[in-house]
Structure 1
Amino acid sequence: MSALIVEAVGANWSDVWNALLDGSFRKPGRWGRTLGSAVPMAMVAIGTIISTKVGLINIGQEGQMLVGAAFAAYIGAHVPGPGPLVIFIVIISGFVGGAFWSGLAGALRYWRNVPEVLTTLLLVTVAANFVGYGLKNTWLLLDPDAAVGNRTQVSQQLDPDSRLPRIDIFGNNFSISVIISLLLIAFTFWLLSQTIVGFRLDVVGQNQKVGRRFGISEVRQGFAAMCASGGFAGLAGALMLASGDFAKFRLVPGFTVNLGWTGLLVALVAREKVLAVVPVALVFAALRTGSSFLAATGVERRVTDVVQGLLVLALLVPPAVLFIRDRRRQLAQVESRT
Structure 2
Amino acid sequence: MTVEPGHATAQPGSGHHPDHHHGVDADDFKRELGTDGTLTEEPYHPNPSTPTADRLQAIGEVVFLYTVCIAAALGLSALLVEATGGSSAEVFNALLDGSIRGPGRIGATIGVAVPLLLVAIGTIVSNRAGLVNIGQEGQLYIGAAFGAYFGTKLGWSGPWVILLLLVASVVGGALWAGIAGALRYTRNVPEVLTTLLLVTVAAQLVGYGLKNQWLLLAPAEGRANRQQISQQLPENTRIPRIEMFGNEFPISAFIAIALAFLIAAAMARTVWGLRLRMLGHNPRTAQRAGVAASRYGGGALLVSGAFAGLAGGMMLAGGDFGNYTLVPGFPAEIGWTGLLVALVSRQRASVAIVIAFVFAALRTGSGFLAATGVERRITDVVQGLLVLALLIPPALLYLRQRRRQMNSGGDRT
- What interval of TM-score do these two structures reach, taking the shorter chain for normalisation? over 0.9
Task: Indicate the residue corresponding to 1:4 in structure 2.
Answer: 76
Within-5 A mapping of 1:146-157: 148-150=223-225, 152-157=227-232
Gaps of 5+ in 2: 1-71
Residues 1:313 and 2:391 aligned together:
yes
Residues 1:57 and 2:132 aligned together:
yes
CA distance in 2, matches of 1:46, 1:208: 22
Residue 19 of structure 1 deviates from its aligned partner by 1.5
Residues 1:281 and 2:356 aligned together:
yes
Change (3 A) 1:162 1:58: same
Question: After the TM superposition, which of the residue ranges 10-19 and 156-165 deviates more from structure 2?
Answer: 10-19
CA distance in 2, matches of 1:304, 1:33: 21
Residues 1:29 and 2:101 aligned together:
no
- The one-letter code matched in structure 2 to 1:9 is V
Identity percentage of aligned residues:
50
Alignment length, in residue pairs?
335
Does structure 1 retain, via aligned residues, the 8 Å contact 2:149–2:216? Answer: yes
| Deviations 1:111-162 (CA, angstroms, capped at 9, x unpaired) | 0000000000000000000000000001111011366444611011111000
Residue 16 of structure 1 deviates from its aligned partner by 2.1
Runs ≥4 in structure 1, deviation > 6 angstroms? none
Question: After the TM superposition, which of the residue ranges 214-223 and 315-324 deviates more from structure 2?
Answer: 315-324
Change (3 A) 1:292 1:261: same
Task: Indicate the residue corresponding to 2:298 in structure 1.
Answer: 223
Question: After the TM superposition, which of the residue ranges 55-64 and 148-157 deviates more from structure 2?
Answer: 148-157
CA distance in 2, matches of 1:283, 1:177: 18
2:181 to 90, 94, 106: 106
Q: TM-score, normalised by structure 2?
A: 0.77
Question: After the TM superposition, which of the residue ranges 315-324 and 279-288 deviates more from structure 2?
Answer: 315-324
- The one-letter code matched in structure 2 to 1:63 is G
CA distance in 1, matches of 2:262, 2:155: 30
Does structure 2 retain, via aligned residues, the 8 Å contact 1:53–1:205? Answer: yes
Task: Indicate the residue corresponding to 2:158 in structure 1.
Answer: 83
- The one-letter code matched in structure 2 to 1:317 is A
CA distance in 2, matches of 1:321, 1:276: 20
Task: Indicate the residue corresponding to 1:185 in structure 2.
Answer: 260
CA distance in 2, matches of 1:151, 1:312: 42
Residues 1:326 and 2:404 aligned together:
yes
Does structure 1 retain, via aligned residues, the 8 Å contact 2:169–2:309? Answer: yes
Change (3 A) 1:327 1:197: closer
Q: TM-score, normalised by structure 1?
A: 0.93
Higher Rg of the two aligned structures: 2
CA distance in 2, matches of 1:158, 1:16: 37
Task: Indicate the residue corresponding to 1:143 in structure 2.
Answer: 218
RMSD over equivalenced CA pairs, Å = 1.9
CA distance in 1, matches of 2:298, 2:229: 33
| Deviations 1:275-329 (CA, angstroms, capped at 9, x unpaired) | 0001000100000101111123333341343134322432233224424543564
Does structure 2 retain, via aligned residues, the 8 Å contact 1:68–1:235? Answer: yes
Residues 1:72 and 2:147 aligned together:
yes
